Structure 1
C-alpha cells in the first residue's frame, strides 16, 4: 500500500476544503419595499454580477450566516404600509443551534418572516438551501481512492 500518497492526498484535500470554506462567507445585502423592488423574490439578479444595481451588494460575512427578512403585509391595503419590505443581510453571529430555518420572529420590535442560511451567497435564492456535501470533498474522496488503489 502507498501510505505516503494517501497521506499527501488527505492533506491536500483538507487544505482545499479549508480554502473553499474561507470563500463561502459572502452574503447579498439589499433592502427594498413593494413588489417592484430589486431585493424581493424572485431575486432578479445573477449573484455573480449583483453590482449592476446600486442597491444590491455582495458583502463579506465573517459568521458565514446570511438572512432574508420579509416585513410588512402583502395583498392588503393599509395607509401606513407600502407593501412588504425585503431585506437580505449578513448575520453578526450564527443561530445558537446552528440550524437553517425560516420562521416568524420579532426583529427590531416588529413581527417579520426571517430565514437563516449558511453558505456562499445563500440568501440570494428564492428558497434558502445549502449544499451539505461540498464538491471539493467529493473530489478529495475520489482522488484518495484512486491513489490508494494504485
Structure 2
C-alpha cells in the first residue's frame, strides 16, 4: 500500500472538513440585563431550543467570529440600575491578531469584559471552543493505524 497517498488523502479530507465547517458558522445574538435575562452566564438555553425564546436569535456569521460582551459588574450599580448587561453577537471582522480570548477593553467609552471566539455557536458557552482541536485529532487517527 502506498502510504504517501493515504497520508495526502487524509490531509485533504481534514482541510475540506475545516473549509465546510467554516462556511456554516453561526452566532447567538441577544442582549439582556440582570440575573433573570436569557442572555447571561451561565447560558441557560440549549442552542437547539433558541427558536422558542423571545429575543434570542441564531444568526449566520460570515466572519466566523462571535463575541460576548459584559457591561458593568453585578453589585456595583446604583439602585436605579438593573445589573450587568450581557450581549452576544456576530463580529463583523476577526480580531487583528486572530486570537480567541477574553479581556477587559473599552467599548463605546465604557470599560467592558469582552470575549472573542471562532466557531459555530461558540458564544453560547462560557469558555472558548475546542472543537477544531478535536476535529484535528480525529483526522489523524487513520494515519496512526497506517504508520504505527
Distance 1:100 1:4, change over 3 A: closer
State the Cα distance separating 1:117 from its structure 2 match: 1.3
- Could you say which residue in structure 2 is the equivalent of 1:138? 137
SS in 1 for 2:48: coil
Distance 1:103 1:140, change over 3 A: closer
Q: How far apart, CA to CA, are the structure 1 residues paired with 2:106 and 2:5? A: 55
Scaled by the length of structure 1, the TM-score of the pair is 0.83
- Report how many aligned residue pairs link the two structures: 147
Q: What 5-or-longer segments of structure 1 have no aligned partner?
A: none
State the Cα distance separating 1:6 from its structure 2 match: 4.1
Question: What is the alpha-carbon root mean square deviation over aligned residues?
Answer: 2.3
Distance 1:144 1:22, change over 3 A: farther
SS in 2 for 1:48: helix
Is residue 104–residue 111 contact of structure 1 (8 Å, CA) maintained in 2?
Answer: yes
Distance 1:81 1:138, change over 3 A: same
Q: How far apart, CA to CA, are the structure 2 residues paired with 1:56 and 1:43? A: 11
Distance 1:16 1:81, change over 3 A: same
Is residue 72–residue 81 contact of structure 1 (8 Å, CA) maintained in 2?
Answer: no
Distance 1:33 1:20, change over 3 A: same
Distance 1:17 1:73, change over 3 A: closer
- Could you say which residue in structure 1 is the equivalent of 2:106? 106
Distance 1:132 1:16, change over 3 A: closer
Scaled by the length of structure 2, the TM-score of the pair is 0.84
Q: What 5-or-longer segments of structure 2 have no aligned partner?
A: none
The structure that is helix-richer by fraction is: 2
- What does residue range 1-150 of structure 1 map to in structure 2 within 5 Å? 1-2=1-2, 3-23=4-24, 25-126=25-126, 128-131=127-130, 133-146=132-145, 148=146
